[in-house]
Structure 1
Amino acid sequence: MINKVQLEKQNRTRSLLFLFSASFLLLVIGFLCSVKWGQAQISWRVLYEALTYQGHDKNHLYIQTLRLPRTLTAGIVGIQLALAGLLTQLTTKNPLASPHVFGINAGAAIAVVFGLVVIKNVSLTGSVYLGFIGAALGALLVWTLAGTGSKQYVRLALAGITIHFLLSSLTEGLIILNQQTTDSMMFWLVGSVSQAAWKEISTILPFFIGGLLVFGLMLPSFRLLLLDDEVAAGLGQRVLVIRAISVLLVIVLAGSAVAICGPIGFICLIVPHIARALVGNQLHVLAPLTALLGGTLLVYADFFSRFIAFPYDSPVGIVTAAIGAPFFIYLARKKGGAR
């Protein structure tokens, strides 16, 4: 019996090691594809010289100043959005929850657009802080409308979708009123990393590193979100405090990502479900796999978005929406059938 249990643990360890190795390999392949292929033809030799900073001609600078920061931004933002989606689903106990569906991304978007259109001359860091404020107000508005009670999680979904469409409409109205920047803002509003540079990476990196550190430190406490509130409270844990920290972390991760790349849809929703289908609900394994798959998915989505209207760039949100919308319908039908 003991040998059987040990054998099962060894098999699971090997399976997890293979899964993480394969996911990391996919990320590396996606990274190389993203920095090599695009509008300009780049050889493997030039790519190696550019990545190791051994050359400084036009092609080397093209990779170092455009493709490399764009790919790194896609990976960072993908990780942030995937973890924000996982936390949202844990906090609300709703498998269809995500910052995008619950109005957090829309709140961050309208705050950033308001700053660019009304306040003007807002720095990139200022846009990130505006994104935090908008995300917090969007989340507060949704939770206020949902109220409390036995049906709170159902009302959260309905209120979130309503607020999302309301804030998205107001955002588009602000953009239309400002004709001078309509094209660039509409491109950003769909979700895009095509304009990302080293400045964007240096701006978002502190929030990315800080968010990952807080997530890692709070991981044992976040496991309690998998339990019923009564059970967790019976264990002597402050469920409301843990949930509040979780919401604040979602605001930081999603708000900073939206401020940099716009409200990229469905990454928050689909990646946690893919990771959960592969490894189950063990949070110490689920969280790192979710982060890894989130970065991988957005890197590939950005890569394929370049060829939709080649040689012109297309917003990465087009690809994520094309993947995520059918997945959302499948989840809604599956959960509805289960009930």
Structure 2
Amino acid sequence: MEHAYKKQSRTWPLLFLFSASVLIMLVGIVCSLKWGQSHVSWRTLWEAITFRGSDKAHLYIQTLRLPRALMACIVGIQLALAGLLTQLTTKNPLASPHIFGINAGAALAVVVGLVALPHFGNFGLIVFAFVGAALGALLVWSLAGTGNKQYVRLALAGITIHFLLSSLTEGFILMNQQATDSMIFWLVGSLNQAAWSDVRLILPFFIGGALLFSLMLPSLRLLLLDDEIAAGLGQRINIVRGISILLVIVLASSAVALCGPIGFVCLIVPHIARALVGSNLTILGPFTAVLGGILLLYADFLSRFIAFPFESPVGIVTAAVGAPYFIYLARKQGGAR
């Protein structure tokens, strides 16, 4: 009886917190649609989102701001879930696809694809990004090897490969005389070119990734255990870890291909979610997803006013927020050890 009461008393605050987060995300979407380079009245905004108008202002919201806001939510959710899965798989609280070379591998492959095949479609760029992310992850894991200190070597190898691949990416852009400002914006991380075609393209990866993550929740709890204990219980921990890494690659590479290697979302969002709701994956997973959408949505909104009326890459805002938080986490983890 007492246990049931404690569980119920714990459920209501979590439900309120999750509902408040969803409301904050909806407010962010409204802000993203309402404010920007062009002034939009509330009446025009309502007519645009209900598709009751077709003049220039309505089309501006429907074809530019609305897909951009949806893209920010989708990409933020994908990156946050990819970060959570990376931390679970590597048992490293400072791990993320960005730090472990997955995003850098995807970015290098996309740049090579743009230079070699400039007329390739966005779906082709996603394929390039997937291959690059997979090769980057394979390279990091092969350098880390196996053994008791594998997770420490993973971090060192990941950071090394990340800087190597990032340098190669920048070199390809510098050597390409036809590199445009949009490519440079994309390299930092940008949502200002998002269109409905991008939303439709990333939607299958988003839905499929979220569905697979939900189905894997019972198995993902095995990653919280020591490998020896999980193996002793008869669980196939290597299969779970392999599927998790594949899901990370799918989520991260599709986001990078369309919006660039946006940094620090993968790293800081799972930590914030864990601090608010705890380590129960049934609650932590959905809450991490919502917080990821919130962070990237508001970061994109703020990026419009850094050099107003000109656009700024959203990666500037996420880096400004994420870098100090990463330093805090590193010092905290070091002090704990």
TM class, shorter-length: over 0.9
Extract structure 1 runs of 4+ deviating beyond 3 A. none
In 2, Cα distance between equivalents of 1:174 and 1:183:
14
Q: Which residue of 1 aligns with 2:151?
A: 153
Q: Which residue of 2 aligns with 1:256?
A: 254
- Residues 197-276 of structure 1: pairs in structure 2 closer than 5 A: 197-276=195-274
Q: Which residue of 2 aligns with 1:118?
A: 116
TM-score by structure 1 length?
Answer: 0.98
Aligned counterpart for 1:8 among listed residues 6, 9, 28: 6
Aligned partners of 1:176 and 1:182 also within 8 Å: no
Kindly indicate whether residue 91 of structure 2 is the aligned counterpart of residue 93 of structure 1: yes
Letter in 2 for 1:258: V
In 1, Cα distance between equivalents of 2:171 and 2:290:
36
Q: Which residue of 1 aligns with 2:77?
A: 79
* 1:121-173 C-alpha deviation (Å, 9 max, x unpaired): 11100000111000000000000111111111111011100100000000000
Letter in 2 for 1:150: N
- Pairwise CA distance, 1:5: 2.4
* 1:82-124 C-alpha deviation (Å, 9 max, x unpaired): 0000000000000000000000000000000000002321110
Q: Which residue of 1 aligns with 2:301?
A: 303
In 2, Cα distance between equivalents of 1:59 and 1:181:
32
SS at match of 2:310: coil
Kindly indicate whether residue 51 of structure 2 is the aligned counterpart of residue 53 of structure 1: yes
Aligned partners of 1:143 and 1:156 also within 8 Å: yes
- Pairwise CA distance, 1:180: 1.5
Aligned partners of 1:190 and 1:264 also within 8 Å: yes
In 2, Cα distance between equivalents of 1:179 and 1:75:
34
Letter in 1 for 2:10: R
- Pairwise CA distance, 1:204: 0.5
- Pairwise CA distance, 1:199: 0.6
In 2, Cα distance between equivalents of 1:160 and 1:137:
12
- Pairwise CA distance, 1:181: 2.0
Residue ranges of structure 2 left out of the alignment (5+ in a row): none
* 1:41-65 C-alpha deviation (Å, 9 max, x unpaired): 0011100000000000000000000
In 1, Cα distance between equivalents of 2:95 and 2:87:
5
In 2, Cα distance between equivalents of 1:183 and 1:176:
12
Kindly indicate whether residue 46 of structure 2 is the aligned counterpart of residue 44 of structure 1: no
- Pairwise CA distance, 1:183: 1.9
In 1, Cα distance between equivalents of 2:214 and 2:251:
14
In 1, Cα distance between equivalents of 2:314 and 2:182:
14
Residue ranges of structure 1 left out of the alignment (5+ in a row): none
In 1, Cα distance between equivalents of 2:335 and 2:126:
40
SS at match of 2:179: helix
Aligned length: 337
Aligned partners of 1:86 and 1:272 also within 8 Å: yes
Q: Which residue of 2 aligns with 1:168?
A: 166
Q: Which residue of 2 aligns with 1:29?
A: 27
Letter in 1 for 2:34: K
Aligned counterpart for 2:324 among listed residues 304, 323, 326: 326
In 2, Cα distance between equivalents of 1:17 and 1:218:
22
Aligned partners of 1:175 and 1:182 also within 8 Å: no
Q: Which residue of 2 aligns with 1:179?
A: 177
TM-score by structure 2 length?
Answer: 0.99
- Pairwise CA distance, 1:231: 1.0
In 2, Cα distance between equivalents of 1:174 and 1:48:
45
- Pairwise CA distance, 1:6: 2.6
Letter in 1 for 2:154: L
Aligned partners of 1:145 and 1:159 also within 8 Å: yes
- Residues 275-294 of structure 1: pairs in structure 2 closer than 5 A: 275-294=273-292
Percent of pairs with identical residues: 73
In 2, Cα distance between equivalents of 1:236 and 1:148:
21
SS at match of 1:84: helix
In 1, Cα distance between equivalents of 2:72 and 2:21:
16
RMSD: 0.7
Kindly indicate whether residue 179 of structure 2 is the aligned counterpart of residue 188 of structure 1: no
